[in-house]
């Protein structure tokens, strides 16, 4: 990365400043870095419990984005499709606090008909804070379950368990 000074301002050359990180894959595992901001916490500086759902959603969305699944294209297809969470089980082990740097770790495990099974966890410096086990369903715009499109299945195949 090259740093250039322009009129008293410094900019990084060769690095996109406009595209947020979608994380990375390590094997079948997706890792999304996340920071805890004031807005994520309650009055004590601890993450409000419901906000962990937002971090998990971002992890799943960025997993799919990096795997080549385009949410907009799914909605624009001949039969517009999206996702709905049918079931989620959370286990809280330790709280995250304001300014913590976390990792949202996501595994897409299996697909059975319209259902996709996902396991996620949030860690801080390798310490487990929260786990989530999810059943997500592919649905049409009226909320009816639908088998995921072939392109989605092809993109997920390298990441699913044996």
Are the C-beta atoms of 134 and 119 separated by less than 8 Å? yes
Choose the catalytic residue: 42, 62, 99, 109. Answer: 42
Work out the angle at residue 67's Cα, subtended by the Cα atoms of residues 63 and 71, and round it to the nearest 5 degrees.
Answer: 75
Alpha helices in the chain (DSSP H): 51-67, 71-76, 150-156
Q: How far is residue 86's CA from residue 64's CA, in Å, rounded to a whole number? A: 18
DSSP class per residue in 76-106: HSSS-EEEEEEEEEEEE-S--BTT-EEEEEE
Q: 106: closest CA among 144, 146, 149, 69?
A: 69
Known catalytic membership, residue 42: yes
Do 12 and 6 touch, CB atoms closer than 8 A? no
* Residues classed as catalytic: 42
């Amino acid at each position: 990365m090259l740093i250039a000074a322009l009129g008293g301002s410094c900019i990084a050359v060769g690095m996109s400043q406009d595209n947020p990180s979608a994380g990375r894959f390590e094997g079948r595992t997706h890792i999304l870095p996340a920071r805890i901001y004031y807005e994520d916490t309650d009055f004590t500086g601890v993450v409000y419990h419901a906000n962990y759902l937002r971090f998990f959603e971002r992890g799943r969305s960025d997993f799919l984005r990096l795997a080549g699944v385009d949410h907009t294209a799914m909605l624009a297809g001949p039969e517009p499709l999206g996702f709905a969470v049918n079931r989620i089980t959370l286990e809280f082990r330790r709280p995250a606090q304001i300014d913590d740097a976390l990792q949202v770790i996501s595994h897409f495990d299996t697909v059975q008909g319209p259902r996709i099974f996902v396991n996620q966890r949030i860690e801080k410096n390798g310490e487990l804070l929260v786990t989530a086990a999810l059943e997500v369903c592919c649905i049409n715009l009226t909320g009816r379950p639908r088998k995921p499109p072939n392109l989605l299945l092809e993109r997920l195949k390298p990441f699913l368990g044996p």
